[in-house]
């Protein structure tokens, strides 16, 4: 397959974000087949050590060689300073005050769409594309929303909830109707080197060997803390309050026996962790901040919604009053700093932070 020798493109120029994985590789191939004049671009974000299958020199090389196979040009954009400012530094700052951030969402928000789209337009590209498993749904009034991808287990609509109308109008998501198996089969069919490459895992700037404790410990002072129960009795201790999150069960050094205990509150100001049984985790509602919507008209939205609190969690029904979701049935407390995404059936309305 050679896009350069193909007939003249009819759908315009498009810049495809290529991570070096199979999804973005196939996204580029499909767009070339569909008549776009495709160029690939890899974002160099994290300059340190990485073993997650993202942001490494090997990943850049995989993307380049895929582009060679497809017969398209390939660029590398260094957004390292912006990545540190918008993703790494806030990640560290959130942990310092007991919040649980989602760096992948912030990377999408600031780098993989906003900054990438700005660079694409500066270079004369009409559109951008990524290999996310999600769809762009055009509604009868011409507005757009992010919709769930066809592959339930790979759906990434949750991490794209922040995309607004101008961005949605300029983005293609070619894999939205495909399962992961179909993506790999397509990559094999056209001879892409990434066909069987494992998916990237975890946070790209934290290595499995060093872990979160080493990464954060090099940047902020980690403090031990006491673990108390709901009566205030000390029942254990943790090596670092900043590494504990809501719902955690392991690493609390509590006495053995009895019912399992879970973290129900983190108080870094007083170096204290509160634990309780599973029922103590449940909350009737969650208040959201930093709300964003897929369309400005939704800014005053209230009513029944489905809300998802984790990337691969199950959406739960509730009622949104403009600031707070009251669950139809109590749900596990959402860790402060985590995103809660609001859906209308399978389409994203918007979301915010717990």
pLDDT tens-digit map of 49-60: 766 556 678 889
Q: Is 153 left (phi over 0), alpha (psi -120 to 50) or beta?
A: alpha
pLDDT digits (tens, 9 = 90+) for 316-345: 999 999 999 999 999 999 999 999 999 999
Would you state the pLDDT for residue 3?
44
Would you state the pLDDT for residue 233?
94
Closest CA to 321 of 291, 281, 280: 291
In this model, does residue 19 exceed pLDDT 90?
A: yes
pLDDT digits (tens, 9 = 90+) for 88-113: 999 999 999 999 999 999 999 999 99
Write out the catalytic residue numbers.
Answer: 107, 204
Both tokens of 6, joined, read 């193909």
Question: What are the sequence ranges of the domains in the chain?
Answer: 11-131+174-189, 221-276
| Banded pLDDT at 4 (limits 50, 70, 90) | very low
Task: Please state, in angstroms and rounded to a whole number, the distance separating the CA atoms of residues 261 and 278.
Answer: 7
pLDDT digits (tens, 9 = 90+) for 232-246: 999 999 999 999 999
| Assigned CATH topology for domain 221-276 | SH3 type barrels. (2.30.30)
What residue has token string 């590494």?
243
pLDDT digits (tens, 9 = 90+) for 275-314: 999 999 999 999 999 999 999 999 999 999 999 999 999 9
Would you state the pLDDT for residue 1?
47
Both tokens of 10, joined, read 């009819």
- The answer to whether the pTM exceeds 0.85 is yes
In this model, does residue 144 exceed pLDDT 70?
A: yes
Query: How far is CA 297 from each of CA 71, 143, 164, 314, rounded to the nearest angstrom?
Result: 43, 10, 12, 26
Would you state the pLDDT for residue 257?
66
To 5 degrees, how large is the angle CA 288–CA 294–CA 298? Answer: 70
pLDDT digits (tens, 9 = 90+) for 115-140: 999 999 999 999 999 999 999 999 99
Architecture of 11-131+174-189 per CATH? 3-Layer(aba) Sandwich (3.40)
Asked if 348 contacts 146 with a C-beta cutoff of 8 angstroms, the reply is yes
What average pLDDT score do residues 25-41 get? 97
């Amino acid at each position: 397959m050679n896009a350069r020798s193909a007939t003249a493109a009819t759908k315009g120029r498009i810049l495809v974000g290529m991570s070096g994985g199979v999804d973005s590789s196939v996204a580029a191939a499909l767009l070339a087949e569909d008549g776009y004049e495709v160029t690939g671009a890899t974002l160099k974000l994290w300059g340190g050590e990485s073993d997650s299958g993202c942001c490494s020199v090997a990943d850049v090389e995989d993307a380049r060689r895929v582009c060679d196979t497809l017969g398209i040009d390939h660029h590398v954009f260094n957004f390292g300073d912006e990545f540190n400012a918008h993703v790494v530094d806030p990640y560290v700052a959130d942990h310092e005050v007991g919040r649980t951030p989602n760096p992948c969402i912030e990377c999408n928000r600031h780098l993989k769409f906003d900054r990438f789209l700005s660079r694409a337009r500066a270079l004369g590209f009409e559109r951008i594309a990524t290999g996310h498993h999600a769809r762009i749904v055009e509604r009868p009034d011409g507005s757009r929303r992010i919709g769930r991808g066809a592959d339930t287990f790979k759906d990434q609509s949750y991490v794209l909830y922040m995309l607004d109308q101008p961005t949605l109008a300029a983005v293609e998501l070619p894999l939205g109707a495909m399962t992961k198996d179909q993506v790999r089969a397509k990559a094999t069919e056209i001879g892409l080197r990434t066909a069987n490459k494992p998916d990237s895992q975890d946070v790209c700037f934290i290595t499995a060997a060093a872990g979160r404790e080493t990464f954060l410990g090099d940047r902020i002072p980690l403090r031990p803390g006491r673990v108390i129960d709901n009566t205030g009795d000390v029942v254990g201790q943790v090596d670092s309050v900043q590494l504990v999150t809501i719902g955690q069960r392991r690493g609390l050094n509590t006495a053995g026996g009895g019912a399992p205990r879970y973290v129900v509150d983190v108080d870094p100001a007083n170096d204290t962790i509160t634990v309780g049984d599973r029922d103590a985790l449940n909350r009737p509602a969650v208040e959201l901040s930093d709300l964003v919507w897929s369309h400005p008209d939704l800014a005053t939205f209230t009513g029944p919604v489905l809300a998802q609190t984790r990337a691969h969690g199950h959406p739960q029904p509730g009622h949104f009053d403009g600031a707070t979701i009251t669950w139809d049935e109590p749900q596990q407390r959402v860790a402060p700093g985590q995103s809660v995404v609001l859906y209308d059936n399978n389409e994203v309305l918007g979301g915010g932070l717990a």
